[in-house]
Amino acid sequence: MEIVEGNNVYNKITDRHDILYILLGGTTRVSTIPGISAAGASPELTKLTPVLDSEIISEGKCISYDVVPMTEEGIPTPSIITRGANEVSGINTLIMDAGFIQDPAIPFIKTSLGSAGDGSKERALQFYERAKAYGSYLGNLLDGRYKFIFLAESVPGGTTTAHTVLSSIGIGEMTSSSMKNSPDAIKESFTARALERTGQLPGYNDSVAEFGDYMMAISLGISSVIKKSTLFYAGGTQMATVFYLDRLINGNNNRYVFTTGYIMKDKDKLMRKLAGQSVLYANMNFSGITGLKYYDEGYVKEGTGFGAAFGISYLLGNNTDSIYSNIKKVYRSFLK
């Protein structure tokens, strides 16, 4: 079986200098609802996960806090995988503030947008247009300077905001979850309250502004101006949702979703419904790495674009043994 499958656009990925990986890290008050997200040891700590993910991907360690983002079961953040794969591939990386609650201790693009709100109680994105403007500004700077731009996310609670946005535009299928057993009932209850709050909305932009997160808005802004580069949404059902919205709002075509085999096993029908044949995915097996082996059992599935990071490294000619070995090295560095 191939490591990377799906749309054969991957045959064009041959030079690391052609590639830019962007992590959009942010928070939403949705993640603090008990049972919604496993992207942290507790609901409150989910707000710190994007800060620490950014530091791990950029520097290979947590700087702001002496703690590794983990699920309540002790399963580590996928940013460890992303860091390990990106080190091997040597691609350029960029961190952007898509709603940090505090600044990570690394170089990054600051927006000061703040956390997205709870869409069941209030308009989630008070600065929706400003967020899109930040995205379009960055997109204009980058377009054509890299052949391939990958947008990844660290937004705990983001599969719930994605589900609510999709439901508001008539797609009621459940998004994926970082938990092995998805909290579908909690997500459905949240979505029902959110839709009851607003009633019928006039357009797709309104759905994102009312129920989404700033990662979505910035991504849509970036994509709105990208004409020369090829854009990949690196992630699972969250990023496939943005891909779908991008088609509806911006009308763009030269876009793809790059995800994991775990997501395709879990949500193939939804991924195909949102992205059609424009899906690539990397098959991985972490059975030999303590902690990460739980990924093979249905936990986490995606996050910080680790499927794309692994796939890129493989496509650039690195053998899987070297990629797994470096991921293991990064993982072990957090056990000291």
Tens digits of residue pLDDT in 247-283 = 999 998 899 999 999 999 999 999 999 999 999 999 9
**pLDDT at residue 288 in the model:** 83
Low-confidence ranges of the chain (pLDDT < 50): none
**Exposed (0-12), middle (13-18) or buried (19+): which is 116, by Cβ within 10 Å?**
buried
**pLDDT at residue 181 in the model:** 83
Average pLDDT over the chain reads 94
